[in-house]
Amino acid sequence: MNLSQASQQRLELLAQDSGKRVLLPCPLNQRALDFSSNDYLCLAQRGDIVEAGHECAKKYGAGATGSRLLSGNLDCFEELESQVAQFKNAEAALVFSSGYQANASGLAALLDKTLWSGAEPLVFTDRLNHASLHHACQLAGVKQIRFRHNDMAHLAELLSKHQESTHPKIIVSETVFGMEGDLLPIESLATIALQHKAVVYLDEAHATGIWGPEGRGLGAIQHPAIDALKTLGHWVIMGTFSKAVGVSGAYIACSEIFKQYLVNRCTGFVYSTAPSPFIIGAVGKALEIIPGMNTERSALHTAADTLRERVHDLGFDTGLSNTHIVPLVVGSNVACLELKADLQQAGIRTSAVRPPTVPPNAARVRLALNTGHTFAVYEQLLHALASWKVSA
């Protein structure tokens, strides 16, 4: 069998269970009715952010020309990292070209047993963590000890079972779950981590810009257990610039010493060209703007609460959602694709999220709300959802 035949066979198998994905055009003039974008604060098109990107590119060039350890360590990276550290209330930060890269290689470096004098870490992971977090565990060759989604009692129970172990303990979770749209009980997690002397690695991809004080993420809140973990250097926070920040790339905010370790041992940092200066300039501007957007954030949270109530009235299940991400859990892949297609017919763009991204029989249409969605747009969405319910 050649590669084309093998690919064809694999695609046919995916299609049998309505799991085959295709790329669709995404016209800019249809953004108003777009519930699939993660541009939660509508910053991607903002003039001053685009302009700041241009200015930085004009000064430093279109590309960084190499890894930061070779020719690529431009001043703009150091400046952005200081800004991110301040934004996250952390000692230091390191930037990456993408969130996937930051997780896959940054978390893998944290889990590398050579960091821990050869002792393989015990890694406690939420069952619904993002694929990039799973990938990091695979890369590091560690076995995950999975706790039930957001179930802190289960996490504590699993940690207690390993109480006598001298191996390092690391807890990995998202703070806003991208597919469920629910919040991590971060204070409980921090308290448990401190009791067990565990290191915490949190992914703030969907929280950055939207949750926590002034949109700095949940990891930036003040809490005695969090402060104690920070003092120990056990508080490692990853987040992206690709969602509410409206650009692309990612950061890991951590202690200065762990940053220096990553600079030396994180493969996604060492062996990859630094991000384009355009990105760095644009992200810097967005991070200046985001803390001042409390009014927009609270309007977004109110809109999400109202939408949840209205879709419940129509008979939809929004699962565990309590954030600006509202999944409509319909179960089968077929129903999910039908709902997405019906909404598309009404001009509304959404994402159909199917296993293995979500658990079996939990396919869903994911609605990602943003600050640009108007009252009229919500009414149009609700009308289309009501029509689908009638015809289903």
Q: Is 392 helix (H, G, I), strand (E, B) or coil?
A: coil
Q: What span, in angstroms and rounded, lies between the C-alpha atoms of 234 and 227?
A: 10
Q: Which is nearer to ligand PLP, 194 or 244 (CB)?
A: 244
Residue from 203, 296, 338, 342 binding ligand PLP (CB under 6 A): 203
Size of the site for ligand PLP (CB under 6 A): 13
Q: How far is the CB of 249 from ligand PLP (least distance, A)?
A: 7
Residue 240 touching ligand PLP (CB under 6 A): yes
Q: What span, in angstroms and rounded, lies between the C-alpha atoms of 54 and 77?
A: 15
Q: What span, in angstroms and rounded, lies between the C-alpha atoms of 175 and 208?
A: 9
Q: What span, in angstroms and rounded, lies between the C-alpha atoms of 37 and 351?
A: 9
CA 377 to chain centre: 25
Straight-line distance from the first to the last Cα atom of the chain, in angstroms, rounded to the nearest whole number: 42
Residue from 89, 98, 105, 150 binding ligand PLP (CB under 6 A): 98
Q: Which is nearer to ligand PLP, 99 or 219 (CB)?
A: 99
Instruction: Give yes or no for a cis peptide into 356 (omega within 30° of 0).
Output: yes
Angle at CA of residue 128, ends 134 and 194, nearest 5°:
85
Residue nearest to ligand PLP (CB): 99
- Helical H runs in the chain? 3-16, 47-60, 75-87, 99-101, 108-111, 131-140, 152-161, 186-195, 224-232, 256-265, 267-270, 277-289, 294-313, 333-345, 375-391
Site for ligand PLP in 256-285 (CB under 6 A): none
Q: How far is the CB of 184 from ligand PLP (least distance, A)?
A: 11
Q: How far is the CB of 292 from ligand PLP (least distance, A)?
A: 24
Site for ligand PLP in 168-197 (CB under 6 A): 174, 178
Stretch that binds ligand PLP, among 28-36, 98-106, 310-318, 339-347 (CB under 6 A): 98-106
Site for ligand PLP in 51-80 (CB under 6 A): none
Binding mask of the shown chain, residues 102 to 141, with x at each position contacting ligand PLP by CB under 6 A: -x--------------------------x-x---------
Q: How far is the CB of 130 from ligand PLP (least distance, A)?
A: 4
- DSSP string across 47-89: HHHHHHHHHHHHHH-SS--S-TTTT---HHHHHHHHHHHHHTT
Q: Which is nearer to ligand PLP, 182 or 203 (CB)?
A: 203
Stretch that binds ligand PLP, among 23-31, 54-62, 93-101, 212-220 (CB under 6 A): 93-101
Residue 375: exposure state from Cβ atoms within 10 A (0-12, 13-18, ≥19): exposed
Q: How far is the CB of 100 from ligand PLP (least distance, A)?
A: 4
Interface contacts to ligand PLP, rule CB under 6 A: 98-100, 103, 130, 132, 174, 178, 203, 205, 240, 242, 250
